[in-house]
Amino acid sequence: MTMKELAKLANVSVSTVSKAFNEADDINQATKNRIFEIAKQYGCFGKFYKGKYHKKTIAIICHEFGSSNYTRFINIFQYLIEKDNGICLVSVDNFSASKQSELIEYYSSYLKVDGIIVFCLNSKLKRGYKTPIVSLFSSIDPNVDSVNVDINSTIREAVNTLKAFGHKNVAFFGERLTEQKCARFVKFAEQILDDYKIFESKERFERVGKDCARQLLKSKSSCTAIICAYDNIAFGAIKELKKNGYKIPDDFSVIGIDNISFSEYTDIPLTTIDAGAEEICEIAWGLLCKKIKNPFFKSLQQITVKSKLILRESVGPAKEKPILEE
């Protein structure tokens, strides 16, 4: 719908419609409300409205809602944003670079949000892009500030910890979206362990752990410990191993990654790698606020937060080669 068509429906001039959407003082509120209601009815309010919402509006673009880890980050950001009298809008890109670019364009050009937080910026921003933006974990655009987490050294620490407990053969459970974590594990396993095994599933979340545990048992491998690409995989693996009569950590030690909120409250508190969600969110939000307050502020920082291994009851001394059955 054009502004001229909207003016005709509201029985006012085009200039009146334009002034209403620009929150001009010489247009009475009743007229504004009538124009706005018609615009909303025909779905073009956002197209024409030029006024500024009284709260900071921040868009968060993450990969998916199904991940407990991503929702943890979103919850922290929501707390920080609302604490600073802002409001957050959340969308998912489903790991698609083109969808991510579309959402960035939508939020910056159409909704005109005050700032954007994106998980793993996967494409360079268009020339002339102005909306303040911060990327988490990585950024393909060197001109975008990012807050990353150092997980390499902590995966090495996890492998070393298992070796210190007597585990010589360790398995890694992952899926198609965790290849980078698997590569890091392999790098350190080759340096530290006598042997290792990789088990990958086409499933997601807890089903990955269930599927990989079945593969492990079927393989009759001598692995005595497992590192999982994220905590949900570990939960599925532990359940499947217990279902088959194995005890954690007596028969298998298990380590997850992410330290999601309930990892320490399960029947067997999970040893896991904490990615420092609170620290990452606080740094990213502080950086974005500086960019919002000062449009000329450019730090071009790639800040790295160190992760840490949290040792809990799912890790213990290795047994001599457990007897695995079909």
Residues 67 and 129 grouped into a single domain: yes
Residues 264 and 167 grouped into a single domain: yes
The angle subtended at Cα 17 by Cα 13 and Cα 19, nearest 5°, is 110
Residue 323 is predicted with a pLDDT of 47
Q: Is the dihedral of CA 67, 72, 75, 77 positive or negative?
A: negative
pLDDT digits (tens, 9 = 90+) for 5-24: 999 999 999 999 888 888 78
Q: Is residue 99 part of a domain?
A: yes
Residue 326 is predicted with a pLDDT of 42
Residues 181 and 289 grouped into a single domain: no
Residues 215 and 269 grouped into a single domain: yes
* CA distance linking residue 171 with residue 15, whole number of Å: 69
* CA distance linking residue 32 with residue 324, whole number of Å: 74
Residue 299 is predicted with a pLDDT of 66
What CATH number corresponds to the domain at position 194? 3.40.50.2300
pLDDT digits (tens, 9 = 90+) for 180-198: 999 999 999 999 999 999 9
Residues 64 and 43 grouped into a single domain: no
Residue 191 is predicted with a pLDDT of 96
* Listed residue (117, 94, 53) closest to 280, CA to CA: 117
* CA distance linking residue 169 with residue 164, whole number of Å: 12
Question: Residue 252 is encoded by which pair of tokens?
Answer: 């298998």
Residue 86 is predicted with a pLDDT of 92
Residues 11 and 27 grouped into a single domain: yes
Q: Is residue 30 part of a domain?
A: yes
Residue 43 is predicted with a pLDDT of 84
Residues 108 and 166 grouped into a single domain: no
Least confident of 47-56, 103-112, 166-175, 215-224: 47-56
What CATH number corresponds to the domain at position 23? 1.10.260
Residue 217 is predicted with a pLDDT of 97
Residue 74 is predicted with a pLDDT of 96
Q: What's the number of domains the chain is made of?
A: 3
Instruction: For residue 111, name the pLDDT band (cuts at 50, 70, 90).
Output: confident
Domain that holds residue 164: 152-274
Instruction: For residue 53, name the pLDDT band (cuts at 50, 70, 90).
Output: low
* CA distance linking residue 144 with residue 146, whole number of Å: 6
pLDDT for residue 174 is more than 50: yes
Q: Is residue 318 part of a domain?
A: no
Residue 52 is predicted with a pLDDT of 56
* CA distance linking residue 147 with residue 281, whole number of Å: 9
* Listed residue (32, 84, 26, 28) closest to 58, CA to CA: 84
